Amino acid sequence: MPPLVTRLAVVACHADRMTARGDHGIRGGWLVGWLAFVLYAALAAPPDDASMTRALVVGTFTGDFGKIDASIAAVFSMLGVVPVLASVFVLRDGATRKLPAWPFALSMFVVGAFALLPWLAFRGAGGPRAEPRAPGRVRRFLARRLVGAGIFVALTALIAWAIALGRASAYAEAFATVSLVHVMTIDLVVCAGLVMFLLEEARSTIPEAEEPAYARGSRVVPLLGSAMWTALVERSP
């Protein structure tokens, strides 16, 4: 083998090893984040309030949250909308992975970021698929800009509800004393950051000409901006 070819082969081999190490490092980072979140929720969060938990769950199905402050009910309700937004990106990304994405996306409706962090950690396991999975009904549905608009409207309405009828003092007290409110608040913040991360990944697969300038600007706003981006940008399922 000529010396130049030999050197190039050595450099390529070294680059592959560094890439693999980088992938393992990133995977380890997601796992450490997930473990820290689990341990914090289990050991450091304040005690639970069974009556509030029951009222929030019942209110989700009946629309009657009783005496629970509107700000708490709104944030709890947002955790039912955010998984839809995350699924827009997770299922599209999962089409090129050997590891199925749908169990993680579905689990987000129950445990939020506790399901999204493991997906980010393990999605590269087994490498990419030889051919992407064909888009099913759910992926085609989530790829519609109208769905992004619906997510944006839902989040905007819940935020407006919390601001108009909620009390910051009531939320702060519940955050400090009730496990569910404490953990769900942190969960919402983590999910917002992870969705922004997934959005940036999705942008790399979309031609710049198909992303309007105002869409690029909207993406820097957590949750609302991410939802607006999905309503403004055409993308394949």
Structure confidence by residue, pLDDT tens digits, 48-84 = 888 888 889 888 888 888 889 999 999 999 999 999 9
Please state, in angstroms and rounded to a whole number, the distance separating the CA atoms of residues 11 and 111.
44
Q: In this predicted structure, what is the pLDDT of residue 165?
A: 95
- Go through the chain and tell me how many residues it has: 237
Q: Are 165 and 75 in contact (CB under 8 A)?
A: no
Report CA torsion sign: 223, 228, 229, 235: positive
SS3 at position 128: strand
Q: In this predicted structure, what is the pLDDT of residue 66?
A: 83
CA distances from 96 to 90, 113, 141, 197 (A): 11, 22, 18, 18
Helices 70-94 and 102-111 pack at an angle, to 10 degrees, of 170
Please state, in angstroms and rounded to a whole number, the distance separating the CA atoms of residues 206 and 52.
44
The confidence band for 16, taking pLDDT boundaries of 50, 70 and 90, is very low
Evaluate if residue 31 carries a pLDDT over 80: yes
Q: Are 235 and 206 in contact (CB under 8 A)?
A: yes
Q: In this predicted structure, what is the pLDDT of residue 236?
A: 82
Report CA torsion sign: 75, 79, 81, 86: positive
SS3 at position 101: coil
Per-residue pLDDT of 161-216, as tens digits, reads 999 999 999 999 999 999 999 999 999 999 999 999 999 999 988 888 788 888 88
* Main-chain phi, psi angles of 97, to 5 degrees: -105, 150
DSSP single-letter state for residue 97: B
Q: In this predicted structure, what is the pLDDT of residue 135?
A: 79
CB atoms within 10 A of CB 205: 11
Q: Are 69 and 174 in contact (CB under 8 A)?
A: yes
**Measuring CA to CA, which residue among 118, 80, 93, 97 is closest to residue 200?**
93
Amino acid identity at 124: G
In the predicted model, what is the mean pLDDT of residues 13-35? Answer: 63
In the predicted model, what is the mean pLDDT of residues 18-27? Answer: 55
Per-residue pLDDT of 112-159, as tens digits, reads 999 999 999 998 877 788 778 877 889 999 999 999 999 999 999 999
Q: Supply 208's token pair.
A: 């710049």
**97 bridge partner residues:** 128
Q: In this predicted structure, what is the pLDDT of residue 156?
A: 98
Q: In this predicted structure, what is the pLDDT of residue 23?
A: 59
Q: Are 46 and 178 in contact (CB under 8 A)?
A: yes
Please state, in angstroms and rounded to a whole number, the distance separating the CA atoms of residues 65 and 73.
7
Instruction: Quote the longest CA-to-CA distance of the chain.
Output: 79
Evaluate if residue 43 carries a pLDDT over 80: yes
